[in-house]
Structure 1
């Protein structure tokens, strides 16, 4: 099994519903897992 790690950075750190929507879209693809995520409202970023 090949594994590729990706750490996307989104300019959204204040609206959790938007971040969860992005995660849900990513997880629609077979073999894609979101293992962890965090939000930073001070810098308005999510990783």
Structure 2
């Protein structure tokens, strides 16, 4: 399963999961027979539309 690494400004690359975790409300990871399924829930607006 993927894991976010500790913050390190000197690291070049491999920040994808850190960024996804920072902008999502919920993040689900499931091991599949081949690979991993990652589902991210992202809020599109702070205020509900009427």
TM-score, normalized by the shorter chain, greater than 0.5: no
Give TM class, smaller chain. Answer: under 0.3
| TM-score normalised to structure 1 length | 0.25
User: Could you say which structure has the higher strand fraction?
Assistant: 2
Structure (1 or 2) with the larger CA radius of gyration: 2
Tell me: higher relative CO, structure 1 or 2? Use CA pairs within 8 A at least 6 residues apart. Answer: 1
Q: TM-score scaled by structure 2?
A: 0.25
Kindly indicate which of the two structures has a greater share of residues assigned to helix: 1
